[in-house]
């Protein structure tokens, strides 16, 4: 059974992923030149991974009979339609750096419970991998 403090932090973890910039961008269509398909797919995959984390958290909370509150996307995201993939990769890379810090703070605040900690640490590992992929994509886009 997940404790109340862990459940609160898991809700925050799920909300961070559900309302993330990559999740929002999965509902938009960036402008991409021919040959930029890898960057578009990479952003889509980050959103898929975010949905995976949300699903893991929701499954755990629901199994324990706990409520969840995922929130809404920030209004500032509504200005990010029809922008270039190069700009969106840069913007997402900046976002991701702060996202990792928020995950680290959340992990530090988690009580010592195995399953919630495993989920949060997996999310943190994915986030660090996403940042590396974003950095690589930014370099590739700048070179093309």
Phi-psi region of 20 (alpha: psi -120 to 50; beta: other; left: phi over 0): beta
With bands split at pLDDT 50, 70 and 90, how would you rate the model's confidence at 92?
very high
In angstroms, what CA-CA distances link 120 with 7, 32, 74, 139?
Answer: 12, 33, 22, 29
The mean pLDDT value for 6-34 works out to 95
CB 136 within 8 A of CB 27: no
Predicted local confidence at residue 68, as pLDDT: 84
* 109 within 8 A of 120, measured Cβ to Cβ: no
- At CA 105, angle to CA 103 and CA 109, rounded to 5? 115
User: Which domains are seen in the chain, by residue range?
Assistant: 4-143 (1.20.1260.10)
- The answer on pLDDT for 4 being more than 90 is no
What's the DSSP call for residue 78? G
Integer Cα distance of 109 and 115 in angstroms: 14
> What's the confidence (pLDDT) of residue 2?
78
Tell me the pLDDT band of 42, cut-offs 50, 70 and 90: very high
Q: What is the tens place of the pLDDT at every residue in 115-130?
A: 999 999 999 999 999 9
């Amino acid at each position: 059974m997940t404790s109340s403090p862990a459940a609160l932090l898991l809700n925050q973890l799920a909300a961070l992923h559900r309302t993330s910039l990559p999740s929002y961008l999965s509902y938009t269509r960036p402008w991409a030149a021919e040959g930029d398909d890898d960057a578009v797919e990479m952003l889509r995959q980050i959103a898929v991974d975010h949905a995976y984390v949300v699903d893991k958290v929701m499954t755990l909370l629901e199994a324990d009979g706990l409520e969840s509150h995922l929130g809404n996307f920030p209004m500032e995201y509504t200005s990010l339609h029809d922008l270039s993939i190069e700009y969106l990769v840069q913007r997402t890379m900046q976002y991701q750096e702060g996202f990792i810090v928020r995950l680290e703070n959340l992990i530090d605040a988690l009580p010592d419970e195995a399953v919630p900690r495993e989920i949060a640490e997996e999310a943190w590992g994915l986030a660090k991998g996403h940042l590396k992929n974003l950095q690589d994509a930014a370099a590739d886009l700048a070179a093309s």
